[in-house]
A and B are shown apart, each in its own frame.
Chain A
């Protein structure tokens, strides 16, 4: 194996290793040895069965949102609004949970459906703002994210406040049949994993094998040409965004009826923004996305234990993942580094 080939195979690990080193530095800066810090994180994620189940439980909504994002990004949409779509899913599921009393299993089914619809509609607003109002989806999404948070706070401190009075912590716990059936003593719902698998497979097939997926791909790469070739941009963009919103909403419903048992203040736990990092790292490949999401879940849950053990702020987990994504974005593609020989350039060969 030549030097070059070796470098090429090893390269993808460089950003990851660098990120670990940098995080190690942050640990030492605060008096915690990297070894201690990382092992605390590992134990926090995989230390015992319960912890693994929790990592998995956290993972499901994250993976759902990330899978939805692959759709949105394929169509060229920067769906930062995913956070709000998750929240709306949680809110709608909570609404059904608190205000309705259906026989099992309809209670759960309606909760999940309501969540998907709400997430889709919330995404639809961003979509219409873009297609009709020409407002970039970054701003639309951002504004709606904040409105969703405000809505949550309003609900839990107002109309849905628990009987002992609104304390901004959350609504009263949901009735038993509104909660997803949980596995063992954990917060993991096997049903949610099944739904995730269905979602991932569906999105994969949609993108790979259908004309709709091809249209999205074309829209993402060149909206004008796609339009001229016959793709109705407005409709497809809206659909992609709403489908993403539906998956996000589903994730929100799962979160509020398994990880939690009531609607809380930070109901989404930043999962939306995290899923954006996930798809950047997976380079928008459906197959890779759930695995990267699992890794992120492990890091984040591990860092909570880190906080308990070392008193260090749990945002260290976010730093690790953020630095990793940044390095992959900057350095991931080995071709762009100039110490490798340039291939034939793309300079004009005509004339």
Chain B
């Protein structure tokens, strides 16, 4: 019989590190991690701040209580709650019955510093932020005091707080024994077999601080360059540079904007000049730290400077981690079109720190899930089922769940790339959902759905086409839609079918004037086919209109 594991609930004030602490605790204990606010936002299909503005706090609190009751029914979870959750006695009771409640607090200065200038905290709306924080802390002090343990997180590292909580749990026999888990030891790796271009992909939490150690045996020169963007540099740059310095590397950091509109030859030329100024030589490593665009520009610069420098991809965005960091596609745009100048250039290593995903805006995180669903749908039924059965863990960014699905998605993409390194028939199944997806992005002037959301809708259209052709069951389509919806991804079109059709024709995957489509056969299997007629697509588009 399975061992009964009481839940560990993290309550307490905003910005005290409930989620970060919770994720690590879950890893050490081997529990699942759940994040209450994330689950509510996904279920409602809008951010918490929007629930507050459109429906008010009372409505939000009702949703919160409903979600508390749902998750309190589970066991073996670490649950991060919202700042106000345990203030409500009803919630606190339910949670205490399901496990141990720990309240994290901090002094107003620490909280204000961690929050920064954001407007995403509805409880701080109206009036002076400092005053609001002080007042709320005062109001909630009594409620927090009812927790089983209070930890003051000011001036303490995540690791300190985690250890403190573990000590308490051990002392009170909530957990049987202390197991210390070294985060990087959780890392998993696999090899992409591409002959002389073979390389390792390493996936795990906490790897940004391990970069230096991980690349030490690659035969790189000691002097290199780190190419990144302002956001990733601010969040992760120092950690990466420090770990490289500890391993004996001298690496200059060069920042460039990673917007799609700056992904051109001008930025590239500027990067070359920076590389020339660094006197890089043939073995000098180029570290690409950031999302898709950073990886593509930095990768192309590495591919073409001195006819190719060793490239280390350190993807931090979701799509970069599960998709674009694998396969060696690098490119820049021309005014005439996207990705027109590029190369297939394999990195020497890919270092994927799944904890970086926790710093993403929630919408970007979900957009990345669309690519994971895509890869599962076209190639791996097992991953699809895992996602279906672990929606809450995935949405809450449970570290084990992230390592699992990121690794699996990377492996599947790698196996496709291995079979077909340069874009051919096998690799083109990765375009599932992309023909319509690209058109949707273009049709809305890149102001509407983001890439992942557009791909989600594109997949539904392509799957509907397959159902119409009777090569795919209606049940498979329904499962696809249900999973996408569970991840709060859109499944019906925001624009007119005709508009989308017009843009499909511009897509660069058009071969000999024929539009090629990737069609779903069943969950885990897909096929590339030509469009029979424009009407076929039009009908599918109409069927998916909202």
Query: Are A and B genuine complex partners?
Result: no
